[in-house]
Amino acid sequence: MDNVRPEIVFIQNDAIERLPEIVSRYGKGLVVTDSIIFKRYGERLAKTCDSDPTWVLVDKGIPNDLQVEGIDVIVGFGGGRSIDAAKLIAAQTKLDWISVPTAASHDGIASEAASVAHNGYRYSKRCKLPVAVVADLSIISDAPVELKQAGTGDILCKASSLSEWKFAHERYEEPFVQEAYNLVRRALDQVIRDDRLETLVRAEIDAGRAMYLAQSSRPCSGTEHAISHAMERRNHALHGLQVIFATPLCLHYLEARGQALYSRDFMTEVISERGLPRMLEDLDLTLEMFVDDIHHALKIMQRRNRHSILADVEDEELRRVILDLYT
């Protein structure tokens, strides 16, 4: 397990002070960021570096004329967009990359998958794991509270994805990797017990490792994720808020089959305690919109050859359970 990247992980206040030293182990760095982060931290970072780092701003996407001559390592510094751009540039150039997240809003901060927009749809492109993660808690704790909540949701929802994965493996012979399961299970348990930012960041890094070990997003992504992808067609809530919203519904049916890692009621309580969305109105949804999202999600699951715990549920019964759980 120890040989799985990232090899270097710093999660602490003022961690970016360590960044120049880490970058210099690899050579010259190209820092991929957006103009807001550049304005806020560019000077501070330049001061701690022996030589000025090269910056590329990806507010409008990766520039076509990007120059990487003389560059040895890519640094993704910022939110999801900058991290994704760094992953893609690293994949294109075959260079290693370092993750410097400024928010803990999802489990992609140290994963190999980059989210790519194409013709209005988002799909996931497999790149590679970062060699290092530098998570500066003083920066991440400055991010809007909703981003931490979304990150928490993206870990807590593993109660559903892990349970469904194990069930789909035992019942339908979906590929299963015990080590990946254990890693996500531990991350989930820790975030249930402990609301600290440091715990959340560690859990997100481990989720990235688990998806690498499984060579699939399946440990971290079940029907609750497919529902979120369906919601994205018209709902703009953060990913982590959508996936945790769909979690009690999946747990309801997993529990009925004796397959839930945590009970529906227990997770609903945790969701309420953490101030995460629970009711249809919290995500501006109607019953019919949610049911339509579920129908669409089932098609996504089928297309990916993944068994959904909601696959055989009748519509009338589904509506009844939703009204019971979400209103």
| Shortest distance in whole angstroms from residue 240 CB to Zn ion | 7
Which CB sits closer to Zn ion, 133 or 184?
Answer: 184
Q: What's the burial of 124, exposed, middle or buried (CB within 10 Å: 0-12/13-18/19+)?
A: middle
**Residues of span 211-270 touching Zn ion by CB under 5 A:** none
Listed ranges 60-68, 151-159, 248-256, 270-278: which one lies at the site for Zn ion (CB under 5 A): 151-159
Listed ranges 38-46, 149-157, 284-292, 298-306: which one lies at the site for Zn ion (CB under 5 A): 149-157
Q: How far apart are CA 99 and CA 110, in angstroms?
A: 6
Helix (H) or strand (E) holding 156: helix 145-156
Task: Give the residue at shortest CB distance from Zn ion.
Answer: 154
Both tokens of 81, joined, read: 């967009």
3-class secondary structure per residue, 43-88: HHHHHHCCCCCEEEECCCCCCCCCCCCCCCEEEEEECHHHHHHHHH
Locate tokens 């001559």: which residue? Answer: 69
Which CB sits closer to Zn ion, 95 or 243?
Answer: 243
Listed ranges 32-40, 154-162, 179-187, 305-313: which one lies at the site for Zn ion (CB under 5 A): 154-162
- Helical spans, DSSP H, in 157-286: 158-172, 178-193, 197-214, 223-231, 239-256, 264-273
Residue 204 found at the interface with Zn ion (CB under 5 A): no
Count of chain residues binding Zn ion (CB under 5 A) = 1
Which CB sits closer to Zn ion, 73 or 276?
Answer: 276
Both tokens of 19, joined, read: 């960044």
Pattern 290-309, binding to Zn ion, x per CB under 5 A?
Answer: --------------------
Which CB sits closer to Zn ion, 78 or 222?
Answer: 222
| Shortest distance in whole angstroms from residue 210 CB to Zn ion | 12
| Shortest distance in whole angstroms from residue 255 CB to Zn ion | 22
| Shortest distance in whole angstroms from residue 207 CB to Zn ion | 8
Which CB sits closer to Zn ion, 23 or 150?
Answer: 150
Which CB sits closer to Zn ion, 29 or 79?
Answer: 79
Which CB sits closer to Zn ion, 96 or 154?
Answer: 154
Q: How far apart are CA 100 and CA 61, in angstroms?
A: 18
Q: Please, which residues have CB within 8 angstroms of residue 50's CB and are 6 or more apart in sequence?
A: 20, 24
Q: Please, which residues have CB within 8 angstroms of residue 115's CB and are 6 or more apart in sequence?
A: 80, 84, 108, 122, 123, 124, 125
Q: Please, which residues have CB within 8 angstroms of residue 90's CB and are 6 or more apart in sequence?
A: 74, 96, 97, 127, 128
Please pick, from the candidates 34, 112, 154, 293, the single residue that binds Zn ion as defined by CB under 5 A. Answer: 154
Listed ranges 138-146, 147-155, 175-183, 244-252: which one lies at the site for Zn ion (CB under 5 A): 147-155
| Shortest distance in whole angstroms from residue 244 CB to Zn ion | 10
Chain residues that interact with Zn ion, rule: CB under 5 A:
154
